[in-house]
Amino acid sequence: MVWSRLKKTRKLSTFLLIVILLAVGTIVSIFIGYRQVSNTPELLLASIKEGANLSLGKIRQTATRDGRKEWRLEADSANYREAENKVDLINLTVIYFLEDNREVHLEADRGILITDTNDIEFIGNVMIRNEAYQMKTEHLNYEHGQRIIICDQSIRIWGQDGELTAASAKYDLKADKIILKGNVVATVSQDFAPILGQSKR
């Protein structure tokens, strides 16, 4: 009788030990996974599975082409809409990397990232800046395939060498050139002019 009780006690102890070890292993795995994602926030959007609709806190996303980094996006929050392949972004900043290693910074109150094309719509207090000048408008779109920023509203551009306004603009990141259209009013120096191309339309 005593031997039987001892065997049952040992079996119960062994079972409890196994359960405890499995629980500890699960907790450790979850903790390691959380650390990896939290330390590399660019994994957050990439890790969203098909069929998911979720909201995320601070996020970072990087777009590359042929192994070359083209832009990096950061936002305070993101809401993923799986059915539309869109991510709604709040307080976003995007850095575009040009071929000569220079950078163009773009900020906006809100944005919409199209996940299957990497196109981005910027909305509200939109600012673009590089080392030479700044631009401000209320709405524009970035077309990732051609690396073109299209502004369909009035825009103001200024720097140390001058200032101008226009009804709309197109910024070719590959060529690093801006084409202005409609009601162009400018006060510029000779040094400022080469970055601009004015449409006759």
- What are the pLDDT digits (tens) for 119-173? 999 999 999 998 888 999 999 999 988 989 999 999 999 887 788 899 999 999 8
Higher per-residue confidence, 111 vs 27: 111
Residues 15 and 7 sit within 8 Å (Cβ to Cβ): no
Count CB-CB contacts under 10 A for residue 89: 28
Q: How far is residue 24's CA from residue 14's CA, in Å, rounded to a whole number?
A: 15
Residue 93 — very low, low, confident or very high, per pLDDT cuts 50/70/90? very high
- Tell me the three state secondary structure of residue 63: strand
Find the mean pLDDT for residues 103-125. Answer: 93
- What are the pLDDT digits (tens) for 58-84? 888 888 878 888 888 899 988 888 888
Mean pLDDT of the chain: 75
